[in-house]
């Protein structure tokens, strides 16, 4: 009788990461909007290093002013379509790449919802830094895009690496397959001192 394998359940379809990131982002933002008064001033989570702070971002990532609301909605829709096409074209065995594309997709859709249905202002609330040196306030959708992008980079980097030769592989020892060590490939003899008179 086989024993059941213990460990974390394997995600059956990497595509499920997209609705998961979208759902968590949506729920977190609605929770923030329901507690705007309490978040009028930053709320410490891990001292001054990690805080919750309510911010409405009218721009792109990190507050960059890249066009208006309509432009950003169009870019988000185009990005979602491209990511969906890339996911479908990716080999199912490339699970890391598929997970990365799905996470980016979920993040893009999360911020798209804010831009399309909440006045074009994205809800940001995660504030990291030390003292006056703070990173740009972000949200769960931004985390999906960032972590998904890092995983996608890792996937592409791993595929570009040359395959390792297996131990005992003649190619790893710099020998030609089918030849014996010390043999003269031209004569086919394994005796270096052999002569044909």
Catalytic positions are 124, 142
Helix (H, G, I), strand (E, B) or coil at 43: strand
What DSSP state is assigned to residue 196? -
Name residue, tokens 């030769």. 165
The two structure tokens encoding residue 164: 């390792």
Name residue, tokens 């990190």. 62
Helix (H, G, I), strand (E, B) or coil at 132: coil
* Beta strand pairing call for 133-134 and 43-46: unpaired
Backbone CA torsion sign across 47, 131, 51, 109: negative
């Amino acid at each position: 009788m086989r024993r059941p394998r213990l460990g974390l359940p394997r995600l059956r379809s990497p595509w499920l990461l997209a609705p998961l990131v979208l759902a968590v982002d949506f729920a977190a933002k609605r929770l923030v909007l329901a507690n705007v008064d309490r978040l009028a001033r930053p709320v410490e989570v891990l001292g001054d290093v990690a805080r919750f702070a309510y911010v409405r971002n009218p721009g792109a990532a990190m507050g960059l002013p890249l066009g208006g609301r309509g432009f950003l909605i169009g870019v988000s829709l185009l990005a979602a379509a491209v990511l969906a096409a890339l996911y479908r074209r990716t080999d199912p065995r490339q699970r890391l790449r598929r997970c990365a594309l799905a996470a980016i997709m979920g993040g893009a859709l999360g911020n798209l919802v804010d831009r399309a249905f909440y006045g074009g202002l994205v809800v940001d609330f995660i504030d990291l830094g030390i003292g006056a040196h703070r990173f740009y306030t972000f949200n769960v959708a931004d985390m999906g895009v960032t972590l998904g992008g890092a995983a996608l980079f890792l996937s592409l980097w791993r595929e570009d690496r040359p395959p390792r030769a297996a131990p005992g592989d003649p190619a790893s020892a710099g020998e030609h397959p089918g030849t014996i060590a010390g043999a003269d490939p031209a004569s086919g003899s394994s005796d270096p001192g052999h002569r044909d008179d």
